Amino acid sequence: MQALDIKLLRDFRRLWAQALAIALVLGCGVAIFLTSFEMYNALEDTRAAYYERNRFADVFSETRRAPAPLEAEIAAIPGVASVETRVVGSVILDIPGRTQTAVGRVISLPNGGLPQLNIPLLRAGRLPAPEATDEVAVNEPFARANGFVPGDSFHANLNGQKRQLTITGTMLSPEFIYTIGPGQMMPDNAAFGILWMPERAAAAAFDMTGAFNSVALSLTRDAQTAEVIDRLDDLLDPYGGFGAYGQETQLSNSFIDAEIMQLRTLAMVLPPVFFGISAFLVNMVLARIIALERSEIGLLKAVGYSDAEVCQHYLMLAGLVAIAGIVLGFGAGSWLAHALARLYADFFDFPYLIFRVSYDAYAISAAIALAAAGLGAGRSALAAARLSPAIAMQPPAPPRYSRGLFDRALGALRLSQPAMMVFRSILRWPVRAGLTMLGLALAVAVMVAATFTDDALDEILDVAFSQSNRQDTMLLFAEDRPVSVLEEVRRLPGVLVVEGHLYLAAELRHGPRSKQVAIEARPPESDLSRVIDGTGRVVAPPPGTILLADRLAAQLNAQPGDVIEVEFLTNRRETFQLPVAGLVTQYFGLGAYMDFDTVNTLFRQAPRVSTASLLIDEGHEDALHARLKEMPGLAGTIMLTESRRAFEDTIAENVVIMTTIYATIAILITVGVAYNGARVQLSERARELASLRILGFSRGEVSAILMGETLVLALAAQPLGWVLGSAIAWSMTEGFTSDLYAIPLVLKPATFAQASLVVLVACVVAVLVVRRRLDNLDLVAVMKTRE
């Protein structure tokens, strides 16, 4: 080995603690980049393979009742490769050992076996016999949640007729990767299941013999999806079509898209923070090393080493630190990516997981890490290379100090001598002090971005359950019913209050933009289910107008006072021009609201309802569910209390995990910045601090000088960290927003206080570690060193 190589290894071994602190910060950036990128690839690859192998449809549509011969006309639409018509319907399930009702979605199976599109994957057992009327296959998560195996049975209320159904097998479908029931906020596999039933039995149960009410299409490569959707709507309109939609807005696929978008946002927001801090730390440490090794650099050049070799030597030292961080990042990132990929596969009901090692991701993350270290080391390494031997062998010129405005201000404050030394050091090196503040501020920002989600979710729960939806239970009717049904519901056991609401599928248009949504019409006196605006005030749409959720209005580019076109896709398919009365805040879905009487007047019909909201007496809940299991015309139930509990449990677990990860990241950043900053100060001021000890200053007073600068900078970094954290939190809310849900930006004083507390405690601990070195200084040896 050459002399410079030996020196390189010795320097790296001597600086192992500082190198490790930097490598940990750099490794975090590499690990998060790898995890996000690998998870993104895993979800995309698994979904693509699953969709291709099981022929996930490109276009979907539902209708009230279309004749079977219409299938040939649909297949003749230009661009359609294949057509799958089927019968679907919702049923109330009576599951043994479960008091509450459950909801099932029945899907017919062709007489020949499996369908051509959205092919279910048989996981256990067998398919129902084509001639059977009491056999079904169920989705695997539903069976697992209720402890079902092939051969078990349960009861279902099929169009008013209670029937015992026997499970023949369990399946998974690309159509239900994210299985969420009507009105649910997240999957509840125990309360919602998919039931595949032979076509003959399903058609008889829902009065669909010789007809269908659902169709799925696959398209050719050159097909124009929008044109196919328009042609399909034209064919289904006379039969009560509810509007066709593409794969991108299919419910299950939309949730997966939202998750992939979140991973992409995470990969864009956090890794640059770590790489930037790492570059600063490398620059700070290497600049001090070169300042201390001026004489060695002079000797190296005097004995014949070139400028390039000296520059390369210090760049290689930074490279060793980067390699250590890359190795740590590769290990942590690979482990996290594998672990999270398995969790995603289970959560999203994939039958398998395609996890391939993306060498591009490893190469890109390593290249960025090396570039960050090289960027931090470049200026200092070039400065070392430019030193001539004669200059390098001489002590550096002392800094030129002068009493400026800040010095006079400090003098007027009559601070103690140690305090004066702390503030003067900060003022003498403003760039380094500013970068140290920035590093600590970014640690605070990461904590703010992590902990704000807890308050945001509390806001969502408060608005969604305490303010907007205050009912205990919602009943979903299979068809719109006259308002007289509410009297029947009111006589059910334990019902204290009942309100009816009407939901209508519609397409909203404003200029060139359009969106298919469900419009909710509710009476003005509704108290259980209410519309809340951005200020928390209850609002009701004035007659003849429409209220829009703010995210829906943004997609339509509509403002209050604008007139939008509303085409109803149910009942009489008519189009109306309605003014936008105002905007409301909504965190789940894209809502649009109209006056109850206005809708019934527009359709020239007696008042009708689609759902009933109930306030119930908990003491009669069991009796209520027993009656609901027998109630005809009921398509489903939503237990709001159970939905809230499931939401809180799931979110609480995720918040704890995410807060722990982000707190660890913030601590690593703080330790990396504070520890390296304190070590550099100790190396610069060792002679000065030793002189103070010899003059009689106590260890505490001398330690205060060393620790004071870092702690002052840490305190000064807090407001900047709050601002940066707010900006990161805002970017996360924007990146996570989709048609399905939105996360509000809720920043409370406690969020900032918690972030500051974590960072300040980590900073104190890091500086105390360096203080131990101060206590062990050999005063005589230090005083012999040259300035």
Q: What is the pLDDT of residues 543-577, one digit of tens each?
A: 889 989 888 888 899 999 899 999 887 766 788 99
Token representation of residue 464: 């969604």
DSSP 120: P
Sort strands 211-219 and 59-67 into parallel, antiparallel or unpaired: antiparallel
Q: Tens digits of per-residue pLDDT, 569-585?
A: 776 678 899 999 888 88
Q: Taking 60 as the threshold, does the pLDDT of residue 1 lie above it?
A: no
% pLDDT > 90, the chain: 20
Cβ neighbors of 276 (< 8 A, separation 6 or more) are 372, 442
* 282-286, 319-323, 753-757: segment of lowest average pLDDT: 282-286
Judge whether 559 and 501 are in contact, CB under 8 Å. no
Judge whether 550 and 585 are in contact, CB under 8 Å. yes
* 32-36, 673-677, 783-787: segment of lowest average pLDDT: 783-787
Q: What is the 3-state secondary structure (H, E, C) of 748-763?
A: CHHHHHHHHHHHHHHH
585/606 Cα distance (integer angstroms): 31
DSSP 29: H
Q: Taking 90 as the threshold, does the pLDDT of residue 218 lie above it?
A: yes
Cβ neighbors of 167 (< 8 A, separation 6 or more) are 125, 135, 136, 137, 138, 143, 148, 149, 150, 151, 152, 153, 154
Judge whether 515 and 248 are in contact, CB under 8 Å. no
User: Confidence band (pLDDT; 50, 70, 90) for 412?
Assistant: low
- Can you spell out the DSSP letters for 133-186? SSEEEEEHHHHHHHT--TT-EEEEEETTEEEEEEEEEEEE-GGGSS---TT-SS
pLDDT mean over 233-255: 87
Longest dimension (CA), the chain: 103
Residue 761 amino acid letter: V
* 113-127, 282-296, 511-525: segment of lowest average pLDDT: 282-296
User: Confidence band (pLDDT; 50, 70, 90) for 736?
Assistant: low
Max mean pLDDT among 54-63, 110-119, 155-164, 518-527 falls in 54-63
pLDDT mean over 680-703: 72
Q: Taking 70 as the threshold, does the pLDDT of residue 650 lie above it?
A: no
User: Confidence band (pLDDT; 50, 70, 90) for 82?
Assistant: very high
The DSSP bridge partners found for residue 82 are 218
480/610 Cα distance (integer angstroms): 5
Residue 83: is it exposed, middle or buried by C-beta count within 10 angstroms (0-12/13-18/19+)? buried
Q: Report the Cα–Cα distance between both ends of the chain, in Å, rounded.
A: 32
Q: How many CB atoms lie within 10 A of CB 469?
A: 20
Residue 734 amino acid letter: E
**Angle of the 271-292 helix axis to the 359-386 helix axis, nearest 10:** 30
In this predicted structure, what is the pLDDT of residue 240? 83
pLDDT mean over 674-678: 79
530/547 Cα distance (integer angstroms): 12
Cβ neighbors of 89 (< 8 A, separation 6 or more) are 105, 106, 159, 202, 205, 206, 213, 478, 635
Helix (H) or strand (E) holding 345: helix 307-347
CATH for 495-616, options being 1.10.3210, 1.10.10, 1.20.144, 2.40.40: 2.40.40
What is the overall mean pLDDT for the chain? 83
Kindly tell me the sign of the dihedral angle through the C-alpha atoms of 78, 84, 86, 92. Answer: negative
* 68-82, 390-404, 673-687: segment of lowest average pLDDT: 390-404
Interior angle at CA 52, CA 47 and CA 58, nearest 5? 90
Select the more confidently predicted residue: 176 or 18.
176
User: Confidence band (pLDDT; 50, 70, 90) for 384?
Assistant: confident
In this predicted structure, what is the pLDDT of residue 771? 76
Q: Tens digits of per-residue pLDDT, 426-468?
A: 777 777 788 888 888 888 888 888 778 778 877 877 777 778 8
Pick from 293, 305, 115: nearest CA to 216: 115
Domain coordinates of the chain in residue numbers? 52-255, 429-471+640-787, 495-616
Q: What is the CA radius of gyration of the chain?
A: 34
Q: How many CB atoms lie within 10 A of CB 551?
A: 20
82/72 Cα distance (integer angstroms): 10
309/315 Cα distance (integer angstroms): 10
DSSP 588: B
The DSSP bridge partners found for residue 161 are 158
Judge whether 285 and 277 are in contact, CB under 8 Å. no
Q: How many CB atoms lie within 10 A of CB 386?
A: 12
What values do phi and psi take at 430, rounded to 5?
A: -65, -35
In this predicted structure, what is the pLDDT of residue 583? 86
In this predicted structure, what is the pLDDT of residue 87? 93
Max mean pLDDT among 218-227, 335-344, 613-622, 726-735 falls in 218-227
In this predicted structure, what is the pLDDT of residue 175? 92
In this predicted structure, what is the pLDDT of residue 787? 47
Sort strands 161-172 and 135-139 into parallel, antiparallel or unpaired: parallel
Helix (H) or strand (E) holding 504: strand 495-510
DSSP 741: B
The DSSP bridge partners found for residue 29 are none
What values do phi and psi take at 506, rounded to 5?
A: -155, 160
In this predicted structure, what is the pLDDT of residue 766? 84
60/245 Cα distance (integer angstroms): 6
In this predicted structure, what is the pLDDT of residue 119? 94
135/697 Cα distance (integer angstroms): 89
